Structure 1
Amino acid sequence: MSNFLQQTEAYLQTSITPIANEIDSSSSRLQDALEGLGNLGVLALRVPQRWGGKQASAENFAQFQELIARYSGALAFLQTQHQSAAGMLMQSSNTELQEVYLPQMSHGKIKVGVGFSQLRRSGKPTIVAKEVSGGYELNGNVPWVTGWTIFKDFIIAATLPDGRAVFGVVPFENLNTSQGEIKLSSPMSLCAMTSTNTVTATLNQWFLPSEKVVSLKPVGWIAENDQKNALKASFFALGCARAGLDILEKTFQKKGFTFIGETVNILTEELNQCRRKIQHAQQNSTLSLAEKYQLRAWAIHLAVRCSHGAVIASSGAANLSQHHAQRVYREALVYSISGQTKGLMEASLNTVN
C-alpha cells in the first residue's frame, strides 16, 4: 500500500470513524474532515507533482476512493467533486488558470466543486452559453452543485448553440453584480450526505471571461466520458459494501451468532471477487460498455446487500437515524443512482428483478 494510502487510512480510523454520523449531517464537521485530508495533501491525487499533487496511479486512486467511502460517504462524495475539478484543470490548455488553482488544490488551500451532470439530460439544455466579446454569457440552471459554503468556486458546464459545451470557473456564492447574477437555492434535503450542501445554481446573464474558461468539449462529450469512466464510481459502492461488512463483523463479535459470521465470510469473498473483476476490467480495453455496467451494477447491489445485512443484524437499534447501519444503508441508496445513465439503470434493475 502506498504511503499516502496508509496515512489516509490512519486518519480515517482515528478522526473520522468516531464522528461519521455527525459528518453526515453537519457541514462544519464535514468541512473539518475535508481539511484533515487537505493536511495530508491528498485532495488532488492525480495532479502531477510539479503542481503539488501526488501523481497517483489509477490503481492507487481507486483504492483511495474505496477507502474514503468505507469510512464516510459524505466525505467521499464531497472530496471527489474537488478531485474531479482538479482533473479538469489538469487537462486544460489554460495554463494561467492551472498556475492559479492547481498548486493550491492538493492541500485544499483553494477548494473547487463541479456542476456538469446536467449535460446527461436529454432535451433542451438547462443552462446555455453564447459567445460574446471577451468570453461567454451564461443563462439557466445547474440542477446539482455540491459543496456550497465549503468550495470557493465551481466548474460549470453550459451548452453552446452548436451543441458543444463550455466549461469555466465561476464563484460558488450568491452574487448580483455588473458581471451578472448567480443565485443559489437552499441546500437540498437528501436521504444521506445532507452535510455536503448540494444546491441548485441559477445564472442570469453571467459573464464568463475567456481567462476563466477551462475547456471546450465537443458534442456528445458527456456520453463518451461516462463510457470511458463507467467503472470508476464502482469503488464508492465497494467502499460502502465494506462499511456494511465492518458493522456486521462488530455485531458478530458482540452477539456471537454463527450465522452472522457465515454471512460476513460469504459477502467478503464476493466483495473481493467483485473488486478483482472490476480491477481486471479496467485493464481490458476490449470489454463492452454493457459488461462494464454489469460489473458496476454488481458493486451497487453488493453495497445494498451488505448495508441491508448490517441493518438486519443490528436489530431494532438500526431504526435510529444516528445508527451507523442506518447511515451506511442510506449511503448505498445514494450510490445506487450516482452518475446514472440509461445503460447503468438497466444493468442495475437486472440485479433486482
Structure 2
Amino acid sequence: MTGPAHPLVTAARELADRVLAPRAQSVDRDGMPESSIEALKRSGLLGIGAPVADGGSAAPASVVRETAEILAGACCSTWFVQAQHHTPVATLVNSADPVRERLLGPLARGELLSGVAYAQLRAHPRIPVRVTRERGGWRFDGRVPWYTGWGLNDVMLLAGVTREDEALFAFTEAREQPGLRPSAPMRLAALTASRTVSLELDGLWLPEEAVALRTPYATWAVTDRPKNTNASPAVFGITAAAIGLLGDEPSAKETAEVLRGRLDEARRQAYALADHPVPTERIEERLACKTRAYDVMRAATTAAVVAGGGRAMDLRSPAQRLAREGLFLLVQGQTTQVRAAHLARLGTPDPEAPLSP
C-alpha cells in the first residue's frame, strides 16, 4: 500500500499491537477480559460500515477488509466477536423500521455491542426457529445452535421464519429472559474465548417495534447465499500472522518468502472477485479462490508449527494457537456449497490445480 493509512487501519493496528496481540495467548486459555471489549468499543471500528450521519465511518470495502485482517491476525477470538456486530449494523442501515432510530447510533458509536443469531435460517426448508404472531408482536420458538458473544454482547439480532415463509429479524437484549435460555459456553478446539452458546427459545415475545427486517425467505436467501463463497479476510490475517512467526526463524525465512508470495496472490484474486459488482456471478471462481486461500493458510500455519518444533506444542506458543484458529476458519460460516467445493479441492491429486467448473 502507498500513502498514509486510513485512520481506521491505524486504529486497528494500535488496538492489535497494544491490546489484542499481547493478550492473545491468555485470552485463548483463560477467556476474554471485559477490558478488551471496552477497548474495542472505544476504537471506532464498530461503526466502520455505518453512515457518518449515524456515528459511523462509511469506510470503503478495502478498509473493512484490511482492519479485519489485522484484528484476526492479532486475536482471532476478538475478531470473531466483533465480526458478529457488523451484520446487525448493516441490517439497520437498510431498515426503515423504528428500531433503526433507536439502535443504529449506539451500535455505530460503539456504545453497544451486538451479536447475531441467524445462521439457522440456512437450514431452510427445515425451520429451527419459528416465528408466529402473538399479542401485537412476535413469538419465537425453537433452537439457535450457535450464538457468539454471550456475556460480552449488549443486544442480539435474532432471526426466524414465519408461517408465511418470511425471514424475520428482531432485536432483543443479549441476556437470559422469559422464553430465552442459553446453554453453558461451548468448549471449542479454538475460540472458546468467543463465548459461543446455543439458545433455547420457548415463547420469547418481542414487540413489533423490535423488528428490523421482514422479507420473503426466498428474497433474503438470494442475497445471503453468495456471501460465503468469498474468501474471508480473517483467513489472510491468520496466514500473515503465521508467516510472521516463520520470519523470526532463521531456518524458515526462505519458506516465509515463498508463502508470502502465495498469500499476496491469493489475496489479490480474492478481493478482485469480492469487488465484482454482481455478487451472484463468478461463483465457481470465488469458491476456487476461497479454497486456495485455505491452502495457503494451512501451509503457513503448519510451517509455523514445524519451524517451532516441540515448543510449538506449548499452549504459550502462538504457532499452535494460529493452527487451531485456522481450523476454525475452515468451517466458520460454512455452507453446503462451500463444503462441497473445499472437499473437491482436497480430493484432487494436485491441490494447487484449479477446480473444474
Same fold (TM over 0.5): yes
Matched, 1:275 2:267: yes
Letter in 1 for 2:272: H
Counterpart of 1:90?
A: 93
Q: What is the aligned length?
A: 341
Q: How does 1:166-315 map to 2 (within 5 A)?
A: 166-176=168-178, 181-221=179-219, 223-230=221-228, 234-250=232-248, 252=249, 256-257=250-251, 260-285=252-277, 287-315=281-309
Matched, 1:8 2:12: yes
**Equivalent residues of 2:41, 2:113 under 8 A apart:** no
Are residues 147 and 320 of structure 1, via their aligned partners in 2, closer, same or farther at CA, if it must alter by over 3 Å?
Answer: same
Q: CA deviation at 1:107?
A: 4.0
RMSD after superposition: 1.7
Q: Secondary structure at the match of 1:159?
A: strand
Q: CA deviation at 1:300?
A: 1.9
- The C-alpha deviation readout for 1:173-210, integer Å capped at 9, x for no partner, is 1123xxxx111100001111111111111111111211
Q: Secondary structure at the match of 1:129?
A: strand
Q: CA deviation at 1:296?
A: 1.2
* Gapped regions of structure 1 (runs ≥ 5): none
Counterpart of 2:324?
A: 330
Structure 1 runs, 4 residues or longer, greater than 6 Å off: none
Counterpart of 1:321?
A: 315
**Equivalent residues of 2:182, 2:199 under 8 A apart:** yes
What is the CA–CA distance in structure 2 between the aligned matches of 1:114 and 1:339, rounded to whole Å? 13
After superposing the two structures, state which structure 1 stretch, 122-131 or 155-164, moved more: 122-131
What is the CA–CA distance in structure 1 between the aligned matches of 2:13 and 2:135, rounded to whole Å? 49
Q: Secondary structure at the match of 1:60?
A: helix
Letter in 2 for 1:77: F
Q: Secondary structure at the match of 2:346?
A: coil
- The C-alpha deviation readout for 1:56-75, integer Å capped at 9, x for no partner, is 11111111111111111101
- The C-alpha deviation readout for 1:5-30, integer Å capped at 9, x for no partner, is 0122122112222111112244442x
What is the CA–CA distance in structure 2 between the aligned matches of 1:321 and 1:62, rounded to whole Å? 29
Letter in 1 for 2:28: D
**1:17 is matched with which residue: 17, 21, 38?**
21
Q: Secondary structure at the match of 2:287?
A: helix
What is the CA–CA distance in structure 1 between the aligned matches of 2:31 and 2:99, rounded to whole Å? 28
* Gapped regions of structure 2 (runs ≥ 5): 348-357
What's the TM-score, normalizing by structure 2? 0.91
Q: CA deviation at 1:131?
A: 1.8
Q: Secondary structure at the match of 1:46?
A: coil
What's the TM-score, normalizing by structure 1? 0.92
**Equivalent residues of 1:46, 1:53 under 8 A apart:** yes
Q: How does 1:19-168 map to 2 (within 5 A)?
A: 19-29=23-33, 31-94=34-97, 96-168=98-170
What is the CA–CA distance in structure 1 between the aligned matches of 2:255 and 2:77, rounded to whole Å? 27
Q: Secondary structure at the match of 1:53?
A: coil
Are residues 26 and 248 of structure 1, via their aligned partners in 2, closer, same or farther at CA, if it must alter by over 3 Å?
Answer: same
Q: CA deviation at 1:151?
A: 0.7
Q: CA deviation at 1:285?
A: 4.1
- The C-alpha deviation readout for 1:208-256, integer Å capped at 9, x for no partner, is 2110001013223554233442355521111111111111112x2xxx2
Letter in 1 for 2:27: I
